[in-house]
Amino acid sequence: MTSPTMESKQQDKEAESASRRSRPTPPGRSQPAKLRTPATWYTLAAALAFLIIWPVGLFFSRIFDNGGSAFGRLFAIPNIGSTLLTTVLLAGGSTIIGAVLAVALSAAALRVPAGMKSFAALMPQIPLVIPPVAFVYGWIFISDPTVGYANTLLRGLPFLDGLKDGPIDIYTIPGIILFTGIEVTGMIFAFVYPRLLEINGSVEAAARIAGASTLRSFMTISFPLLRPGLIAGVVVAFLTGIGQFTAPLFLGTRENIKVISTEIFRLREDFPVDYPLTAALGLPLLIFGVTAILVQRRVVGDQRRYITSSTGRGITRKPSMGAAAFVIGYAVFVVGLPLLAIVLVAFSPFWDGNLANITFTLQNFVTVFEDPDVGQSISNSLIASSLAVAVVVPLGFITALALSGVIKAPRPVVKTLDFIFIAPLAVPRALLGMVIVFVFIRPPFSLYGSLALFVIGYAFIALPFALRSQYSSLIGVDKSLFEASRVSGASQLRMITTITLPIARRGIAAAVALAFVMLTNDFAVSVMVQAPGQQVMGTLLYQLGQEGAAPEVAVMSLIITFVTAAILTLTVRIGGGKQALESF
């Protein structure tokens, strides 16, 4: 989920070192079959297209059962127009908030003092690491109208002491939009910030020398060059918003706020499941998703058009304490407060919102760890995530070779693979879960109640991001390095193993880290494919919440956050430390 890298000096150094290890193939020695054989590429593209598109097509074909009667029943759903409008409003509002915050944070992160660079690059993306269910509970603990910590403190002020509830109410449409906007800010930042790092510093410097202000040089030079990263981030954020499930389910149910994804979940809970009606309900989301992806592809085009020369890359921007204050304030408000609220509830006997009456206890942790379902859910999450990553990351690497031009593939294949890998983003996760259930619990698969359903769903989730990180690590590398290897007589397989893999190491590590973070944190797909006795961490947390056990919910939230952070740290260290983290 990164933009194309231009860290040319370091990458070229690694590539040249790797190239020296690639020795020419002696004359007469047979070489391995070339990966660029057109038939091989067409076969790969056809197989992936079938595996990705076939389940979705099979599910939506149910709309036409009984002469398409599902459309008539769709319009009979109470307030369906209002539900669709709320869905679009949520997606649009959260995307606008996320885009504005992401660009502002990216610009500020470039201007913080040198010692804060890593902190400024990491903080906006921390909400991606915190599980969405845990994150939403953190904000509930703060902003619940009755016992939220913030509301309890505010009602202690002289001019608000007459209120019984509020004044903040997170269980509203603006509350859901704001929460989702904060969540997608990290996604857009992950696209925008690396792109800003790649933009030649001397270009902005020349504009300032010519008399342009810092703001004007940013808006007229850097901002237009952000186009591929910003548009990609906005599309991902909009698709996340249009299929948002966690926040509307947890925050909207209380006030009967409905979106399409929560209506799909309601239908999933009925027995027997009305699959034709579910497909008809999800069709607008699919149309929105496919349209957004096609618009992105048309607007951005070839990302190489936005690569700037690396000359002058060492130029630094003047540090700003205002930028540092903005990043720190954002980190405290968005990251610090929810985590603090979760910790307070986790160590409290009960949650009543009164900070003055808090007494600390470890009993909640004892209760949670004595539950055998906790260990089983952690094991299931890690196994399912590992298997999904083991499938999609190699596929993403092979596709990145073709898209970046490292290996020549037929142009139709390149376009097809590019669309196939981005296509799962067009299917909201709650809807994706329904697709998996419909297709794979039936013969010949009959996978109901098995961990394989989670693996299949997770593979769909991780597929787009497994490609982007690896593609970004290859697109900015000078292709003459690979040409030199081929001219020297090295086979394509040898070039890949001795040159391309070392160059792509950080991208691979970022892809693995991002995939694990997303999969261990997943809730929407998991809750759709779960069966009795088969839990993962997200579904167990939801179950505890349904039981009203707030302290146990807080403890489980901390467990999921710790597991996710540990996996992220491990994969980043293996992949190259700070540079892999910046790629992530």
Indicate the DSSP class of residue 497. Answer: I
Domain ranges, ordered by start, for the chain: 37-55+79-583
- In this predicted structure, the answer to whether residue 306 has a pLDDT above a threshold of 70 is no
Spatial separation of the C-alpha atoms in residues 373 and 552, rounded to whole Å? 13
* Inter-CA distances, 217 with 107, 173, 212, 213, Å: 12, 37, 6, 6
Of the listed ranges 243-252, 278-287, 402-411, 554-563, the one predicted with least confidence: 402-411
Which range is most confident: 314-328, 362-376, 509-523? 362-376
* Mean pLDDT score, 107-113: 85
Q: In terms of pLDDT, which residue wins out, 36 or 364? A: 364
pLDDT in tens, 337-353: 999 999 999 998 888 88
The alpha carbon dihedral of 112, 118, 124, 126 has a sign of negative
Q: Which of 30-34, 58-62, 113-117, 118-122 has the lowest mean pLDDT?
A: 30-34
Q: How far apart are CA 492 and CA 276, in angstroms?
A: 48
Q: How far apart are the first and last CA of the chain?
A: 7
pLDDT of residue 387 exceeding 90, the answer is yes
When pLDDT is cut at 50, 70 and 90, the band that residue 8 belongs to is very low
**Is 37-55+79-583 a domain of CATH 2.40.33.10?**
no
Encode pLDDT of 46-67 as tens digits.
998 898 889 998 999 989 888 8
Angle at 302 between CA 296 and CA 304, to 5 degrees: 130
Task: Classify residue 335 by its DSSP letter.
Answer: I
Question: Which pLDDT band, with edges at 50, 70 and 90, does 572 fall under?
Answer: low
Considering only residues 4 and 538, tell me which one the structure prediction assigns the higher pLDDT.
538
Confidence (pLDDT) at 485 = 67
